[in-house]
Structure 1
Amino acid sequence: MRASVASSPSLTRPRGALAPVLALLLLSQGTAACHRPAADEPPPASAPVAAAPADLPLPAPAPPARVRGRKVLAEATSQYSKIRVAQNGTKRTLGFIRKRGDEFVQTIVDLTDPDVPAHPYAETMAAPFMVVDDPKRLLIVGLGGGTLVRYFHSRVPAARIDVVEIDPEVVRLAGEWFGVVPGPRLQLITDDAVRFIAGEGESYDIIWLDAFLDPGAPGTDNAGVPEELRGLGFLRRVKARLGPGGVAAFNIHHLTGYDAHVNAIAEVFPQVQVVRRRDSNEYIVLALTREEPLSPEALRSRAAALDALGTWGISFTKLAEATSPWERRPAP
């Protein structure tokens, strides 16, 4: 979840357009809910009542579209974190304020086009689409300012997205300042991820683990990842919530218990791939439920098919080149 009143038109693909392209390139090896849509004003009595459109883009973030220098727009303190929304020029951020006063930025959005990632990690989090054919059910654990939500909502119009966020203040600020609000394809759920994942519910094609709180707070590591989300029990429950061929993507800071965390993931999932971009200090870990090896050739073919669509605004080919199997390392 890291990182104009009007935004640029979203780049989207027709419903299901990816499936026929990728079908030709099959791998050769083988929480109370806060789902409260705002009520529309009733139409004039003389006007016919039109049916609501099947889907709408997420609204543009609230003004101002640009500021001089850096301006704090909002602050809130919850039982989990002190949160700040700030803006510099057209870049808006959501961050957590540590007890020592410094700010740990989690979200960066460029208001000139809020549906385009302004941080390399968000682009890398699109890597699961190289592995899963035509996903329809997506789950994001950790909301922040909703960078991933806006990106995937605009690029995968055939998918429904659930987002689980433990902190109601984060949910509120994401709606007020980043335009991330519930809709026909988007459900925001205020709940603890451990409880939600362990509960009864449908399976997902892709699950993103992107949850961060106040770094160094009790129960979190130095990057702000809740310790419970690193345990074998939780990882097994994540795997259980994935459908056949599903993938979990973990945003892991490579300086904070990285080897131990990825080793634990590899103990639970049959295959683990790591996407290491040189321009980011986060490594995205892909945990695959499929047993068949994922060959570099198949990955490159899938990446080329996605790039051929011309809708994502990133290079999946470069992501494929940065992806390699995890080799288990001894604990320090």
Structure 2
Amino acid sequence: MSPSTPLLELPGRVAGAAVTVRVLEPVHSDPARLYEQIQAGRYSRPFIIDDGETRQLLFGLDFIQSSMRIDEPYALDFAYTRKMMAFLLFVPDPGHVLMVGLGGGSLAKFCHRHLPRARLTVVEVDPDVITLRGEFDIPDDPRLAIVQADAADYLPAAEGDADVLLLDGFDCNGIAPAFLSRGFYRMARRRLRPGGLLVANFAGPRKYWSRHLTFLNQAFDGQVQLGTVPGGDNHIAFAFDEAGCAIDWQQLEAQAALLADQFPLDFPAIVASLREGAELRWAKAASAKALPIQQTKESHLWTKSTPT
């Protein structure tokens, strides 16, 4: 964020504790009116709540979009973001990571710091979210490109240019409406290089994202593995471009032990969440429905990526 774009500060309270609320509004705006709009759910722009320990990006008081620990801004504060980084189990050295949804930049910052050889592209539809990037210490670096665009328009613009595609696009009502089509997930698959991996965050009750899972399975011929997120209502879907991909759990656990020494993440716990997701009957049924007839190819854990 440019220093010439100051934020208006509003005093507020969350769960009885005093916090600072910051909004992208002119300094002459009425703070009381703005705070009343936020409390009533009528404020239409993203805003920040800062309690001195964490800084959060919100679209409404019912939904925290992103959270950053002020004393450790590059850590992944939310469990679901740590689970999304499970892509490293399958693609440990990506050349290009494409992300949809900037938020507070948690995933972008983590990848920028811990994947120094990777090129990163983040697609964000909301210009206000991009304007707030400076509040979350998102690096200004040629290796990290932030593109203001609707993912439904951006994804068809190229093919086969990403090793990993992370989908974490939400608005105040949940998963971005533009995602809800077979065509969107097919376009997403076409952005992947051969053997690439798509990772999608599904949040909230299953009834709100079950169609997304169906479309994702259809686009990837049933090659979708779901992971759980303990203590929350998120599920993380891993969709494999490689046909007939099957997880070798023993090899995956060995890979987790190696990665635990390289990254500040509990990879054994991440593998456990993948195993738990693999046992969900409804997830297995959704995947089986989309499997091509006569699919018999055996596969193993795929860990090699193509650098840019």
TM-score (norm 2): 0.75
Is 1:328 aligned to 2:277, yes or no? no
Cross-structure match for 2:19: 70
Number of equivalences? 251
| Alpha-carbon shift at residue 145 of structure 1 (Å) | 1.0
Q: Which has the higher contact order (CA 8 A, sep 6+)?
A: 1
User: Residue type of the partner of 1:154?
Assistant: R
Determine if contact 2:159/2:190 at 8 Å carries over to the other structure.
Answer: no
Q: Distance in 2 between matches of 1:120 and 1:322?
A: 11
Q: Distance in 2 between matches of 1:254 and 1:94?
A: 18
Q: Distance in 2 between matches of 1:170 and 1:288?
A: 30
| Alpha-carbon shift at residue 202 of structure 1 (Å) | 5.6
Is 1:168 aligned to 2:117, yes or no? no
User: Residue type of the partner of 1:327?
Assistant: K
| Alpha-carbon shift at residue 134 of structure 1 (Å) | 1.2
User: Residue type of the partner of 2:284?
Assistant: E
The change in CA–CA distance for 1:37 and 1:207 in structure 2 (over 3 A counts) is farther
Cross-structure match for 1:282: 234
Is 1:257 aligned to 2:208, yes or no? yes
- Other structure's SS at 1:250 match: strand
From 292, 309, 317, the equivalent of 2:268 is 317
Q: Distance in 2 between matches of 1:273 and 1:172?
A: 35
CA-based RMSD of the aligned residues comes to 2.5
User: Residue type of the partner of 1:148?
Assistant: L
Q: Distance in 1 between matches of 2:68 and 2:21?
A: 15
- Runs (4+) of structure 1 exceeding 2 A deviation are 73-77, 256-260, 328-331
Q: Distance in 2 between matches of 1:241 and 1:308?
A: 31
Cross-structure match for 1:209: 167
Aligned sequence identity (%): 27
Q: Deviations over 1:230-273 (max 9, x none)?
A: 21101001000000111001000141433322122111114111
| Alpha-carbon shift at residue 190 of structure 1 (Å) | 0.4
Cross-structure match for 2:37: none
Is 1:238 aligned to 2:188, yes or no? yes
From 114, 117, 132, the equivalent of 1:155 is 114
| Alpha-carbon shift at residue 37 of structure 1 (Å) | 10
Q: Deviations over 1:53-86 (max 9, x none)?
A: xxxxxxxxxxxxxxx8311122459xx9421111
Q: Deviations over 1:146-202 (max 9, x none)?
A: 111111111111111000001111100123x11224312100100110110011366
Q: Distance in 2 between matches of 1:162 and 1:137?
A: 8
Cross-structure match for 1:88: 51
User: Residue type of the partner of 1:258?
Assistant: W
Determine if contact 1:182/1:188 at 8 Å carries over to the other structure.
Answer: no
Q: Distance in 2 between matches of 1:147 and 1:133?
A: 19
Is 1:197 aligned to 2:155, yes or no? yes
Determine if contact 2:109/2:139 at 8 Å carries over to the other structure.
Answer: no
Unpaired runs of at least 5, structure 1: 1-35, 39-67, 216-222
Determine if contact 2:45/2:128 at 8 Å carries over to the other structure.
Answer: no
Unpaired runs of at least 5, structure 2: 4-16, 26-33, 35-42, 290-308
| Alpha-carbon shift at residue 228 of structure 1 (Å) | 2.2
Q: Distance in 2 between matches of 1:166 and 1:209?
A: 13
Structure with the bigger percentage of helix: 2
Q: Deviations over 1:28-55 (max 9, x none)?
A: xxxxxxxx999xxxxxxxxxxxxxxxxx
Q: Deviations over 1:281-320 (max 9, x none)?
A: 11110001112312222221221221132xx222111111
- Other structure's SS at 1:327 match: helix
Cross-structure match for 2:178: 228
Q: Distance in 2 between matches of 1:267 and 1:295?
A: 23
Cross-structure match for 1:299: 252
Matching of residues 10-159 of structure 1 within 5 Å = 69-75=18-24, 81-97=44-60, 102-159=61-118
- Other structure's SS at 1:322 match: helix
Cross-structure match for 1:272: 224
